[in-house]
Each structure stands twice: as C-alpha cells, then as structure tokens.
Amino acid sequence: MRKQKRAAVMTARPILPRGTGRKLRASVPRNSLALPVVPCPAMRRSALTTSRPTLAVSAPSLVAITLAAAAAALAPQAAAPASAASAGDRAGDGDWETTPESEAALARGLEWLARNQGPDGSWESNDLGLVSLGALAFLAAGDLSGRGRHGAAAARALEFVLRNARPSGLLNIADGKRDMYNHGLAAFVLGQAHGMTEDPRLGPALDRALKLIAVTQCEDGGWDYHARRQRNGHDLSLAVMQAKALRSALDSGLEVPPETIELAVRSVRDHHRGPGGARVPEDAAARAEQGQFTYDGKSGTLAMAACGVVCLQELGQYGDWRIPRNLRVIQAGLSSLKARKGSGELPADAYTLYYVAQAVYQAGGRHWRECYPRLRDAVVENQLRAPGDPARDGLWRDGMRVSGKPGDLYGTAVACFVLSIPNRYLPILQESKLEGLGARLEER
C-alpha cells in the first residue's frame, strides 16, 4: 500500500512536526542573502529538512545578491489574500485526494516508466527536460536513489541529466531552439532533487544553471527559446519554465537575485490581456470580469491561464488580482477535459495538464477541492491497459507535441506527477510562502 510506503521511504532526513515547514537556509554567506520562505501552518504531510548548508557563493556571483539590494527587495509587505500555502486551505487528512483507483493507476504508470527506461536513463530521448520529468515522476512518488521501489530508475534519469549538462550550465543537448524549454524544466527537477537527496553534484550543477537563467533573461524580463539575452522575451510558456526553476532553487536553499524575479513578474503581468489584446482597465469590475493570461499578448488558452497563475504564485505574488480571474478561466476550461476510457490519451495535452494541476493545487481551498478530483479521475480513466504488453500497459500518451516513445514518457510522467501531488513529497509542494517582494513589486 502506498500510504505505508510514504512513511517508509523518507527516513534519511529528519522530519518536522506537522504544522511547521522547511526553513530556506540556516546561515547567510557574507555579502549575500537569500529571499526568506515563511512556512505556513497547514501541512497534510510532514516536510523534510535539508540538513545541508546553503551553497556558498561569492559576492560577485550572478546568483548571490548584495545586502543593499536585498534590503530594498525585502521591504515590509502589506498583508495579501491567502494562497495555496495558507493555513486551512487543505486542512484535514485529505483522504478525498486519492482513491484506490488512482493509487493503482499511479503504480502502473511508475512501473511503465521503470520498465521502459533505457540503460542510460533516457527513454530514447535527448531532451533533458523530458528525461527530468521522468525523474520527477519517481521523486513525487517518494522513490529516491537508494529508497523506494523505483529509486534506481530515478537515479539513472538524474544521472543522465547531470552527465549531459554543459560547462556553461545549459541543460540542453537537443536543438538550440529548445534551449530554455529543456533548461528550465531540467533545472526545476534538479532543484527538487537537491532538496530531497544528498548528491553532492547537484549543488554545483544548479549554481551554473541559475547563473545561466539570470544572464539569459531578456531586457523585458522574459526569455527567448535560445539561451541568449536580447531585448524581448518570446512568450509566457518560456517564462513559466524559468519561474519554476527559480522557485525550486529557493526552496532548496539556493540564492536568486531579486532583480531577476522582479523583471520576471513584470513580464508575466504584461502577458495578461483583455479582448483583442488590450490591457485590462484598472477598475475592480473590469479586473474581475475581463482578460486572461496569453501566450504572446494575444492568444489566450487554458494552458496560458494556468501558466500565469503558477508564475505569480511561484514568484510570491499571492495577492495579485490576475490570479482569481484566471482561476475562473481554468475552472471553466475543465469542462473540455476528454474522458476516453482506456485510450491512453491524456484528458488534456501533457503541457496543459501539468500546469493546470499545479495552479489549482497552489490556489488551494475550493479550487483544489473542486478541480483536482475531476483531473485525477479523468487521468485514471484514460490510462492504457494492455496486460501482457510491457511496452504499452500503464502508459499515457501526450498525443499533441511529442510523439513516439518520448511522447509516451512525457504523457506518463505528467500523469504520474498529477496523481502523486497528494503525497506532497516534493519541496515545491510543501506549502511555504515567499515573502518580502510585495512592496518592491507593487504595480506602478
């Protein structure tokens, strides 16, 4: 039973009592400061501490920040409405979050990933982002190197990513047009692994990856597909990848320049538009009823609504009025989920499902309670069952952006991640809040 496994697999690190959270770091290197994480009191699962010290980064490093800059970034902030990390959002034991069917589907999906992984850990894909998602599926279920049923498979996937990291810190060995997609996704997963394991290689790899995110941020706060700095970023889908990588690093005890976060927040907000790409008027009624996050300032989709919510939440903007507006867009969009029993097709494309699940989890409260069972049950119903066929039994396909075995990896890894969210094993799911950016990031 997975509920027994939850307690068994996480014994290598000390456990904090329920109602506490992980502190970001225990000490501050001279001339640098990390943004604080304030734990929130409501946590269904116990959180793990990261007994390691924070990476000691020298003052000139792009990852370190000066005390003067930090003082401005960490100015007092007015109280904001509660978000996913708030007390009471998911109080109680949360038994409604899982079902016997979802537990069984998750086990089959993890078995498919382990059974079909290549000896090099790659699932026949050279996209480090996709391989990292395979690792994330195992980590989210509590399977780590040396622990859990699929710990060895998780270790092989992470090893493939680390082995192929470039000296510059870039986490991409595929086409250059996929630089920042693969880099952001892989950096996020390495950050989660850094918060859960003791692999000494993860810290230096993350340090280089974060420096690359900082130096390739465009002047408008976004990012291009290629790992290069230019005047304007390309679209919101790239920003969300880097936002999650930055937050993952913070949660795991690393340091991020507040200027990088400030620029990213401004870029994300700029992607929220009304009808025809117009900016939403500033009055409260218009903000409540108009607009949503867009891909490029024009095209609004369910995926982009979720990406915008995830970005703002991950970057500490919990009281932003765009969040509740786009949560309504997400709830309305869930009516388009496609239930195709046993088809192997996800109820939405893997990209959309990945961010929608995170958006409603972060929002918590009724959004999580109403939306997650619909996502969970549709994922479970669509899983491909083919007993006796190890190449197919238990998988989900992306069916939209990635084909072949890498597409099966993508779909199955995302489905397993979604079904594993109630475990709350990942540092990113352990319900802590970033504070100190509100005053500096007030809209002008």
Domain boundaries along the sequence of the chain: 33-47+61-271+298-434
Q: What is the pLDDT along the chain (444 residues), one digit of tens a residue?
A: 444 333 333 333 322 222 222 222 222 222 222 333 333 323 233 222 333 223 233 323 333 332 223 323 333 333 333 344 443 344 334 789 999 999 999 999 999 999 999 999 999 999 999 999 999 999 999 999 888 999 999 999 999 999 999 999 999 999 999 999 999 999 999 999 999 998 999 999 999 999 999 999 999 999 999 999 999 889 999 999 999 999 988 877 777 888 999 999 999 999 999 887 778 877 777 787 788 999 988 878 999 999 999 999 999 999 999 999 999 999 999 988 888 899 999 999 999 999 999 999 999 999 999 999 999 999 999 999 999 999 999 999 997 889 899 999 999 999 999 999 999 999 999 866 766 555 455 554
pLDDT computed for residue 356 by the predictor: 98
3-state SS, one letter per residue, for the chain: CHHHHHHHHCCCCCECCCCCCCCCCCCCCCCCCCCCEEECCCCCCCCECCCCCCCCCCCCCCCCCCHHHHHHHCCCCCCCCCCCCCCCCCCCCCHHHCCHHHHHHHHHHHHHHHHHCCCCCCCCCCCHHHHHHHHHHHHHCCCECCECCCHHHHHHHHHHHHHCCCCCCCCCCCCHHHHHHHHHHHHHHHHHHHCCCCCCCHHHHHHHHHHHHHHHCCCCCCCCCCCCCCCCCCCHHHHHHHHHHHHHHHHCCCCCCHHHHHHHHHHHHHCEECHHHCCCCCCHHHHHHCCEEECCCCCECHHHHHHHHHHHHHCCCCCCCHHHHHHHHHHHHHHHCCCCCCCCECCCCHHHHHHHHHHHHHHCHHHHHHHHHHHHHHHHHHCCCCCCCCCCCCCCECCCCCCHHHHHHHHHHHHHHHHHHHHCCCHHHCCEEECCCCCCCCCC
* Single-letter residue type at 211: K
pLDDT computed for residue 431 by the predictor: 64
List Cα–Cα distances, 332 to 254, 281, 328, 338, 371, in angstroms.
Answer: 37, 22, 6, 14, 10
Fold of 33-47+61-271+298-434: Glycosyltransferase (1.50.10)
pLDDT computed for residue 145 by the predictor: 86
